């Protein structure tokens, strides 16, 4: 897979994730945030299970079975997923879909900073203005002057740190193991089981609530987790983490669009300007490094 193909796949991921904000918001009318997180990630693990089995068999034939250390890395990724997804889900209870999309995008500038601090990898200069433009664009998209910080907003802001670490690490771990489906499904299973344990302790879990949230759990479990998170793991084996963060921030645009169509959110001139900023920042962070490579090749 080329870098361009990986970025196209990440755009598909952003499309699915952005549309899932509405389902995540509506699901909170029936079940608690930890219950919702647990069920959707367990559904996602079931979606990927056949691919996990085939990949396991392939690794065994090559005498490359995963080791204990690999299991610990997958557990770490699942724990980051739980932290990010649970805090985001708690936040969605008391904030709008548009605000949730904007505030989640704050992980974008964190990824190049963490890449620099943790991996000692200085990204292409275009990432810094691109990340800043994404944040400013998402701020405009949220309604700027009407944005107020609620407890839900604070939960989502807190979720951006584990999201950023996850984006930074997931591609590297999957690539080193040569097992993207085992990494994807394994982290889903860890996240789902941990969230279920917390839900059984802190939330009322009942069949009626699960039935009421059935379609939202099905959509977010199959599409947002099973398809999109797995595609993220596959794509990030071939895409730079900082570039991936910029491309994935397109979920902000999609969340705003579905919030407008299904939840009654409205875009004004500032919101349209925000869309344009995010779009051009995503294009810039992809095209500028390619232009330099092209000039060097010539």
Name the one residue in this structure whose structure tokens are 């079940």: 31
Q: For the residues of 110-167, what is the DSSP string, one character each?
A: HHHHHHHHHS--PPPTTHHHHHHHHHHHHHHHHTGGG----HHHHHHHHHHHHHHHHH
CA dist 127 → 48, 116, 124, 187, 273 (Å): 32, 12, 6, 28, 20
Angle at 154 between CA 168 and CA 251, to 5 degrees: 50
Instruction: Determine contact, residues 6/241, Cβ cutoff 8 Å.
Output: no
Reported as a single tens digit per residue, the pLDDT across 70-120 is 889 999 999 999 999 999 888 888 777 777 777 777 777 777 778 778 777
Average pLDDT, integer, range 38-52: 94
pLDDT confidence tier of residue 185, bands split at 50, 70 and 90: very high
Instruction: Determine contact, residues 149/94, Cβ cutoff 8 Å.
Output: no
Is pLDDT of 147 > 70?
Answer: no
Average pLDDT, integer, range 257-282: 70
Q: Which residue has the higher pLDDT, 245 or 183?
A: 183
Instruction: Determine contact, residues 139/162, Cβ cutoff 8 Å.
Output: no
pLDDT of residue 267: 60
pLDDT of residue 249: 72
Q: Which residue has the higher pLDDT, 240 or 83?
A: 83
Is pLDDT of 263 > 70?
Answer: no
* pTM assigned to the model: 0.81
Name the one residue in this structure whose structure tokens are 């959509």: 219
């Amino acid at each position: 897979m080329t870098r361009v193909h990986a970025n196209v796949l990440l755009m598909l991921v952003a499309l699915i994730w952005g549309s899932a904000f509405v389902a995540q918001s509506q699901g909170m009318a029936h079940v608690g945030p930890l219950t919702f997180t647990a069920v959707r990630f367990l559904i996602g693990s079931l979606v990927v299970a056949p691919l996990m089995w085939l990949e396991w068999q392939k690794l065994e034939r090559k005498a490359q079975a995963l080791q204990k250390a690999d299991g610990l890395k997958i557990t770490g990724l699942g724990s980051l997923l739980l932290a990010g997804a649970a805090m985001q889900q708690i936040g969605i209870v008391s904030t709008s879909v548009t605000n949730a999309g904007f505030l989640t995008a704050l992980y974008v500038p964190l990824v190049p900073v963490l890449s620099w601090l943790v991996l000692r990898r200085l990204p292409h200069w275009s990432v810094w203005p691109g990340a800043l433009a994404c944040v400013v664009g998402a701020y405009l998209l949220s309604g700027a002057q009407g944005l107020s910080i609620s407890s839900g907003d604070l939960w989502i802001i807190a979720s951006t740190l584990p999201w950023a670490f996850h984006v930074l690490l997931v591609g590297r771990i999957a690539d080193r193991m040569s097992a993207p489906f085992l990494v994807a499904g394994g982290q889903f299973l860890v996240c789902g089981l941990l969230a279920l344990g917390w839900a059984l302790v802190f939330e009322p879990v009942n069949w009626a609530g699960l039935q009421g949230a059935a379609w939202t759990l099905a959509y977010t479990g199959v599409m947002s987790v099973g398809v999109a998170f797995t595609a993220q793991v596959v794509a990030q084996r071939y895409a730079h983490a900082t570039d991936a963060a910029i491309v994935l921030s397109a979920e902000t645009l999609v969340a705003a669009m579905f919030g407008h169509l299904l939840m009654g959110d409205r875009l004004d001139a500032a919101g349209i300007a925000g869309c344009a900023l995010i779009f051009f920042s995503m294009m810039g962070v992809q095209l500028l490094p390619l232009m330099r490579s092209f000039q060097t090749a010539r």
